[in-house]
C-alpha cells in the first residue's frame, strides 16, 4: 500500500472555498451537506489582526476511529491507497462513526438514514487525476500524494494544530503548514 495524504499551506489559502464547492459538486451533495469544510480563524485586535483558513475533509487516518467503532463493519481502510471507504449497503445509520471521528468526516443523511463521507475521489485517483478539492484549489495551497513524499517534501508541516484534536490516536494523513498563530 502507498498511503495517500493531503497537504495544506495555510499561509497561501485565501478561504475562497473552491475546494469545498468542487467536493460538493463531485459528490452531488445537497444544500447543507459537506464532505470538505473550510473553517476560518481570526484573532487579535486592530491593527495586529490575523486570519487563517483550514480546509479539511477525511484525513484517511492510519488508525481511523470511524472504522474501529462502526458496529456493522461498513467502514474500512482499502489496501491500495489507504483511503477510508464505506460499504454504503452495510450502513445502518446509527451515526457511531459520526460520533467517533474527531475530525467530523462522516456525515449523516437523515433522508437516507445512512452516513456518507469523503472517499478521496478514489475513482479519479485510480485514473491518475487529483481529488476534486485539490484540482480546484485556486491558490494551489492544497496538495495530494504519497504520504511519505509529502512528509519529506514538507518537513516543516505539522499533523497537529492548536485548533485540532491530537493526531496521536488516529494518525491523520493530512499535513499542514500552519499560520504561526495556530501552530
- For residue range 61-97, list pLDDT tens digits in order: 999 999 999 999 999 999 999 999 999 999 999 999 9
Burial zone of 68 (CB within 10 Å; 0-12 exposed, 13-18 middle, 19+ buried) = middle
Per-residue pLDDT, averaged over 20-36, amounts to: 97
Q: What pTM value is reported for the model?
A: 0.92
The whole-number pLDDT of residue 176 equals 95
Sheet with 4-9: list strands edge to edge: 142-146, 4-9, 174-177
Amino acid at each position: 500500500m502507498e498511503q495517500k495524504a493531503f497537504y495544506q499551506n495555510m499561509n497561501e489559502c485565501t478561504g475562497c472555498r473552491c475546494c469545498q464547492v468542487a467536493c460538493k459538486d463531485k459528490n452531488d451533495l445537497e444544500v447543507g451537506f459537506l464532505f470538505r469544510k473550510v473553517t476560518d480563524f481570526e484573532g487579535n485586535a486592530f491593527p495586529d489582526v490575523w486570519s487563517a483558513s483550514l480546509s479539511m475533509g477525511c484525513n484517511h487516518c492510519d488508525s481511523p476511529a470511524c472504522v474501529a467503532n462502526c458496529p456493522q463493519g461498513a467502514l474500512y481502510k482499502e489496501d491500495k491507497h489507504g483511503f477510508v471507504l464505506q460499504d454504503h449497503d452495510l450502513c445502518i445509520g446509527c451515526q457511531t462513526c459520526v460520533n467517533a471521528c474527531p475530525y467530523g468526516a462522516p456525515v449523516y443523511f437523515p433522508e437516507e438514514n445512512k452516513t456518507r463521507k469523503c472517499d478521496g475521489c478514489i475513482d479519479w485517483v485510480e485514473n491518475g487525476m487529483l481529488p476534486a478539492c485539490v484540482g480546484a484549489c485556486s491558490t494551489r495551497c492544497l496538495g495530494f500524494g504519497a504520504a511519505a513524499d509529502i512528509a519529506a517534501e514538507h518537513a516543516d508541516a505539522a499533523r497537529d494544530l492548536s485548533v485540532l484534536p491530537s493526531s496521536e490516536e488516529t494518525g491523520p494523513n493530512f499535513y499542514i503548514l500552519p499560520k504561526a498563530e495556530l501552530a
